[in-house]
């Protein structure tokens, strides 16, 4: 290899390394903020029982403005419409039966939900300048530190936000609501186990197939007079 080749290899190798470093490890263009969560509150956030209580809290504290469609949680004003139950029966699919209330938790496609909720959503938009977002996947995009601090003190985390501070001084209940939002965005324990088993089986299959193909190739080569 000539000196020139060595320089080229080092240059493009370095560029490739830098590319993946920025993508996977540290991106200097993204604003990094660490949000602290007291360890006691972190325990609550990771407790599945707290998530069940968090769901009830969400219903009373947040569902006047926010939906969690992936968990069949809709704006209070929409869910209480007399025709809403019929819409659920016609267009919804069953997510699960609620353990506590024994009620059916139903998923509605976004277009159907927004059609029936349009007036309520526009009312919220005219009051707050923005439709309060659906929170189904908010845990995934924001993480628990941000959510805990934002819900507790919206103005401190996002100055100028139109989200009102509804949980001031209620650290524990805020943690329970974050536990709820976490439980919605994460698959259940049973589902996680199923996925792990599937992953092991798929990789095992590839390894077994690779081994069989290797034996078969050897045999073919031997038949053709290569090897022995
Ligand atoms: C009176 C209406 C109202 C209530 C009640 C309310 N919110 Fe909000 N929320 C908003 C609005 C409006 C926004 C959009 C704010 C923005 O983008 O500046 C928002 C935004 C959010 C966001 C997104 C923040 C982001 O970074 O984009 C989260 C998370 C959130 N709310 C959680 C909650 C939770 C949890 C509760 C209940 C404890 C709650 N909200 C109660 C109106 C409300």
Residue 68 CB less than 6 A away from ligand 1: no
Mean pLDDT across 75-96: 94
Using alpha carbons only, how large is the chain's radius of gyration in Å?
26
Give the predicted TM-score (pTM) of the model: 0.80
Looking at the DSSP bridge assignments, the partners of residue 104 are: 97
pLDDT above 70 (res 215): yes
Which pLDDT does position 114 carry in this prediction? 95
From the CA of 188, how far away is ligand 1's center (Å)? 25
Which pLDDT does position 100 carry in this prediction? 79
Mean pLDDT across 23-45: 89
Which pLDDT does position 186 carry in this prediction? 83
Q: Which residues have a Cβ under 8 Å from the Cβ of 106 and sit 6 or more positions away?
A: 72, 88, 92, 93, 94, 95
Which pLDDT does position 198 carry in this prediction? 97
Rounded Cα distance between 75 and 117, Å, is 8
Rounded Cα distance between 158 and 221, Å, is 67
Which pLDDT does position 170 carry in this prediction? 95
pLDDT above 90 (res 214): yes
Widest CA span of the chain, in angstroms? 82
User: Strand ranges (DSSP E) for the chain?
Assistant: 93-97, 104-107
User: pLDDT tens digits for 88-98?
Assistant: 999 999 998 98
Whole-number average pLDDT of the chain: 93
From the CA of 85, how far away is ligand 1's center (Å)? 26
From the CA of 105, how far away is ligand 1's center (Å)? 23
Cα 10 to Cα 13, 14, 15, distances in angstroms: 5, 6, 8
User: pLDDT tens digits for 122-172?
Assistant: 999 999 999 999 999 999 999 999 999 999 999 999 999 999 999 999 999
State the pLDDT confidence band at 228, using cuts at 50, 70 and 90.
low
The protein residue whose alpha carbon is closest to atom 16 in ligand 1 is 161
The protein residue whose alpha carbon is closest to atom 22 in ligand 1 is 133
């Amino acid at each position: 290899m000539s000196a020139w080749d060595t320089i080229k290899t080092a240059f493009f190798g370095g560029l490739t390394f830098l590319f993946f470093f920025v993508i996977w490890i540290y991106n200097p263009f993204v604003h990094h903020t660490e949000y602290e969560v007291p360890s006691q509150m972190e325990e609550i956030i990771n407790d599945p029982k707290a998530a069940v209580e968090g769901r009830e809290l969400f219903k009373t504290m947040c569902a006047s403005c926010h939906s969690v469609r992936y968990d069949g949680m809709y704006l209070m004003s929409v869910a209480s419409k007399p025709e809403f139950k019929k819409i659920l029966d016609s267009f919804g699919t069953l997510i699960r039966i609620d353990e506590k209330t024994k009620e059916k938790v139903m998923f509605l496609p976004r277009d159907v939900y927004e059609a029936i909720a349009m007036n309520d959503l526009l009312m919220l938009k005219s009051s707050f300048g923005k439709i309060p977002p659906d929170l189904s996947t908010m845990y995934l995009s924001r993480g628990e530190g941000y959510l805990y601090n934002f819900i507790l003190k919206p103005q401190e985390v996002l100055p100028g936000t139109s989200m009102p501070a509804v949980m001031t001084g209620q650290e524990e209940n805020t943690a329970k609501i974050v536990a709820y939002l976490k439980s919605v965005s994460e698959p259940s324990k049973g589902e996680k186990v199923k996925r792990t088993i599937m992953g092991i089986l798929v990789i095992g299959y590839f390894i077994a197939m690779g081994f069989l193909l290797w034996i078969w190739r050897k045999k073919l080569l031997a038949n053709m007079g290569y090897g022995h």
